[in-house]
Amino acid sequence: MVIRLRLARHGVRGKPTYSIVAIQARKARNAQPIEQIGTYDPLPVLTYPRPTSLLDRRKAEDGVWEKKLELNAQRASWWISVGAQPSKTVAKLLLLSGLTKPGQFNIGGMRTDIASPSRETETPSSAVSGPLKTRRPRKRKHSKSSVIGQATTGSPNPQAGPSSPLPPAQVHQPIDTAPNEAASASNRVFQETYKPHKPSARARARERSRNFTLSIALPGSILLNAQTPELRTILAGQIARSCAIFNVDEIIVFHEPTFSPSSENGHEQKRMRGKYRQTAEEESQSTAQADEMLVKILTYLETPQYLRKALIPMHSALRQAGILPPLDMPHHLRRDDPSPFREAVVLSHDDDGRSVQIDIGLRDPVRARTKSSALPERGTRVTAHYTNAEWSLVSPLLPRELLGISWGYRVRHVSQISRIFLDPAHGQPNEEYDLVIGTSERGQPLQSALDSFPPHPKHVLIVLGGLAGLELTIGADEDTGLTAETALDLFDHWINLCPHQGSRTIRSEEALPIALATLAPYLDSI
């Protein structure tokens, strides 16, 4: 198949631009080319020399009408050397750029006796204007024309006569913008040290160990604000991203009861949920499904990528998992990432009864010793610590306490909001939340309550409401013994996160990053 060097037209009517391409001869004009080696703009523009000072003013007689040609001389020469045949117009452009010689190509209708202009020879501009004409004549009439880029010809004044001299054709080599060797070496050291292309892969530890936990509680019904499963999946991914960024240790998903408004005659009304109209029974079932979906997605995103196949079974809630954003948390390690801690799954038990075979994301399983007499069951997720040239199973809280970094979050699902306080804090026996913050638009501003916060809390809990708000959710829970008006008694502080909000409502997925960002300075001081 013959390869041709020809023009591919782009642009709009009356303002064409062309690409110089290498393409098979039988293909259409604008078909996919093998390679693009340059561009050509046939419309001349008036250009001026570089000013010598700020006071230098441009004058019309100093301007030059030029056409722009950008050509990769190295690739064009290579294609010619392997037998590519240029079209009539491209052959003229190659001749003006000095890459070919007169008479090198036998193309019908082409003037092969035109030599490349030089400084010693003055050529009338009319002798060059013919070969530079495009196939479609332009309505504009310019007495002078030139080409800049790899080949440049021009006239100092477009109003000059045909005897005005032309500057020689010049082939400009592309400017080398690569840094010098010293700068390249410095850039390589910077990339290896800080990895700017993947900054989240390296977590920065606190100056001191972190001895407190941060938990958030929110209803799963917030997913029902989205109308489609794809949007619900994206919403759950936004919640997981916010928790990962602000080092949340525990996410509690509680069930929000259904509050169906009643009409004046006492009959139950259908409540609009998204784009569907549902009764109270249907809505309660949808809320339960939303709780399960949120728990499944949060658990899936927190699990390291090399453990998901072994730990996360297939579920309908994860059908759109491919559109979820990655968390890139410190325990989401790649195979070549150095770390003294790794998340793992138990594969089998050794015969000695004190060690197990675990998968930590490397090529082969490793052996890890256990400090307790009871071995974890197969398929259980564990945390491994490499010390004294061997792996051992440790508590998942140890990386946070030793390194001061967040080591993922645990997900807990409770049937009602009162179970948050009845169960032990962060899954630790005999532990309670010593700082509980409730959020509501009827609370006090955070800045006025910061002075009364304890200086060194051990377990911090932030509770966010759903579509109906925290007051009705607490009032509907009989175990709390509170009403909607006395719901604030359940919390240590009743906070309004955004006192001067510009919207009538703030959604839970929006209130979550606001709360975490507002409390970040206080949490960093603990």
Average pLDDT of span 100-129: 48
Average pLDDT of span 25-54: 80
pTM: 0.60
CATH 2.40.50.140, domain 341-403, yes or no: yes
Ranges for all domains in the chain classified under CATH 3.40.1280.10: 213-258+283-327+408-524
Record: fold of 3-97: S16 Ribosomal Protein; Chain: A; (3.30.1320)
213-258+283-327+408-524 belongs to which CATH class? alpha beta
* pLDDT tens-digit map of 188-236: 777 777 666 655 445 555 556 678 889 999 999 899 888 889 999 999 9
Residue 40 has pLDDT above 80, yes or no: yes
Size of the chain, expressed as the number of residues it contains: 526
pLDDT of residue 197: 61
CB-CB contact of 93 with 40 (8 Å): yes
- Looking at this protein, which amino acid is placed at residue 523? L
* pLDDT tens-digit map of 428-473: 777 888 899 998 888 888 888 888 888 888 889 999 988 778 888 8
* Greatest distance between any 2 Cα atoms in the chain: 104
Show Cβ contacts of residue 359 under 8 Å, excluding neighbours closer than 6 positions.
306, 307, 310, 344, 345, 347, 365
Ranges for all domains in the chain classified under CATH 3.30.1320.10: 3-97
Q: Give the number of other CB atoms < 10 A from CB of residue 272.
A: 9
The pairing of beta strand 213-219 with beta strand 250-254: parallel
Q: Which two tokens stand for residue 307?
A: 């453990």
pLDDT of residue 312: 92
Ranges for all domains in the chain classified under CATH 2.40.50.140: 341-403
